[in-house]
Amino acid sequence: MLGFFVTVIDDRPEFANRERFPTADEVVCRSYLDYFSEVVLSEHTYILLLTRGHKYDVLSLRELLKRDEKAAYIGMIGSRRRISGVFEELRIDFPNESFNHLFTPVGLDIGAETPAEIAVSILAEILKVKNQKSGNSLSTKVRKYAKLGFHEGVKNGTAAPYNAYK
């Protein structure tokens, strides 16, 4: 998927299986704690936590944050209440700078509502981090070059009005 090696981890066999995730590169049925204590982390590692509860978020993040190696991106899905609860627990053991590569809630603000839109929002954020880009709209760059607008010199009203490019 977009050039990423996708690993799905869950400690429940009924969820961690090829039937549920046929397009994943790897499906692992193992505890989050065991997996995250041994997985190789690097500047090319992007982790998205979609656990079944606050307890598992805390366990996973605690294990990931205490590692010497760091992932480029750790994203966690969740409500404000859930996120707040996780951070309350983690702040006891970790200084604020430990959270520099933690993104929560995940995704870019594109007004995503459906599962497909949310997936696009999350992957866009991961790509933004991977490619070290701003995530701003590319159309803002065009405006620098169109000082007079595109309507100048066009006859018969065929060009879009100038304010469409503001």
31-135 — its CATH code?
3.40.50.720
CA neighbor of 122 nearest in space, from 74, 86, 57 = 74
Yes or no: say if 33 and 64 are a contact pair by the CB < 8 Å rule. Answer: no
Residue 147 pLDDT greater than 80, yes or no:
no
- In percent, how much of the chain has pLDDT > 70? 83
Average confidence (pLDDT) over 99-124:
95
pLDDT one-digit tens code per residue, 52-75? 999 999 999 999 999 999 999 999
Residue 118 pLDDT greater than 60, yes or no:
yes
Q: What does the mean pLDDT of the chain come to?
A: 88
pLDDT at 165: 46
User: Domain residues of the chain, as ranges?
Assistant: 31-135, 137-166
